Structure 1
Amino acid sequence: MPYVPARRDTLLIPSGPDGDHLFVITTDACLSGRHLLVNFTKAKPGRHVDDACLLAPGDHPFVTADSYVLYRSARLEPANRLTLLVDGWVYKVGRQATEELTQRILNGFGESRFTPKFVKDYLAKWPNP
């Protein structure tokens, strides 16, 4: 049975030498068949942290250290592409995010000064961007 992307799903996506990053699908598919994804990153001492959505261990099973949502790396992905990459074993499906966490992430898109303009435009017109 092919993978069907859905809001709250998480995907482990290869991200260079640091291994996989956890991305959350934050929206249902829009009318053009795309989903909005964003990833988490660990907070490191001495580095800037976007405080629009901070994460602590326990917010999601994948989060084992203080982390935050990296809004500047948000991406729009066609549902059919996500299906191909999961079914092809390039992306791995993780445990779903809770509704509360997904809503916190969505709220942060409007609060983060690092949210790309294309994302703000997409959300303003969703589900018909």
Structure 2
Amino acid sequence: MQGNVFQKGTLLIPTGGSQHLHIVMNDPLHCPVHGHVVVLLVNISTVYPERYSDQTCILAPGSHPFILNDSWIVYRQAVVSRVSGIEDGILARTIHPRLPISSPDFDRVRQGFDASQDVPIKIKRFLRTYGL
């Protein structure tokens, strides 16, 4: 039986005073560097013309039920997170699992990690180390 934290899964997580949809980029894996079972998360944010947005990967309204406007992938805020912390947040009802992202959109988001200039070096290293 699959849990709430899995590759292509999405989670609604409080970020910066509001809820943002995050994509789980890998199935949980043990990371000796972090000493825990972890996943890579990247969040999605609405495109506002007057604000910066990385144009590497834009998701259109309707590409996921939560996405109502053109939305960008915030590669610069990608983070490796402990699965236990995510599961604790789900139990506490501060993190809310949502429907998975489609395979084509997931693939576009993943390709963006290779193309975006905003991806932190430590995230590029994580992707390379684990063959993601």
TM-score normalised to structure 1 length: 0.90
Question: Which residues of structure 2 form unaligned runs of 5+?
Answer: 32-36
Across the aligned residues of Structure 1 and Structure 2, the Cα RMSD in angstroms comes to 1.9
Aligned partner of 2:24 in structure 1 is 25
SS at the partner of 1:71? strand
Structure 1 position 30, deviation (Å): 2.4
Identity fraction in percent: 29
| More strand per residue | 2
Kindly report structure 1 stretches of 4+ aligned residues shifted beyond 4 Å: none
SS at the partner of 2:90? helix
Question: Which residues of structure 1 form unaligned runs of 5+?
Answer: none
Distance 1:16 1:7 in 2: 24
1:31, 1:127 within 8 Å by CA — same for their partners in 2? no
1:35, 1:78 within 8 Å by CA — same for their partners in 2? yes
| More helix per residue | 1
TM-score normalised to structure 2 length: 0.88
- The AA in structure 2 aligned to 1:31 is H
Structure 1 position 48, deviation (Å): 2.1
Structure 1 position 113, deviation (Å): 0.2
Q: How many correspondences in the alignment? A: 127
